[in-house]
Amino acid sequence: SQTIHQWPATLVQPVGSPLSLECTVEGTSNPNLYWYRQAAGRGLQLLFYSVGIGQISSEVPQNLSASRPQDRQFILSSKKLLLSDSGFYLCAWSSESGNTIYFGEGSWLTVV
């Protein structure tokens, strides 16, 4: 069966510091991969999606970037965090031809 993991689960970072959140999927090949953010107030926003290695699409211009160095690995990064980057970040995947998106456990980021 397919599994998705992301880490770290919790992160407290000072303003201006870098960020790296990592996500891996097991049990499938050529997945579509996604990063979502959930800010206070519960709204879920798609940040990035990827349909293949090195292929990244950004939904919202921001202080963050994403990379996909391997088929089942998706990384969310920032060179300098802002206070507004605080939130709950969720990695997700779907099969190449599937229409169901499955989410990871999420990572809580607090920028102080």
Site residues (CB under 8 A) for other proteins? 32, 34, 41-44, 46, 49, 51, 57, 59, 88, 90, 92, 94, 97-106, 108
Least distance between other proteins and beta carbon 48 (Å): 10
Least distance between other proteins and beta carbon 59 (Å): 7
Nearer to other proteins (CB atom), residue 5 or residue 80: 5
Nearer to other proteins (CB atom), residue 18 or residue 86: 86
**Other CB atoms closer than 10 Å to residue 58's CB: what's the count?**
14
Least distance between other proteins and beta carbon 96 (Å): 8
CA neighbours within 13 Å on the CB side: how many for 7? 3
Distance CA 65, CA 21 (A): 11
Closest C-alpha to 33, from 77, 107, 94: 94
Rg (CA), the chain: 13
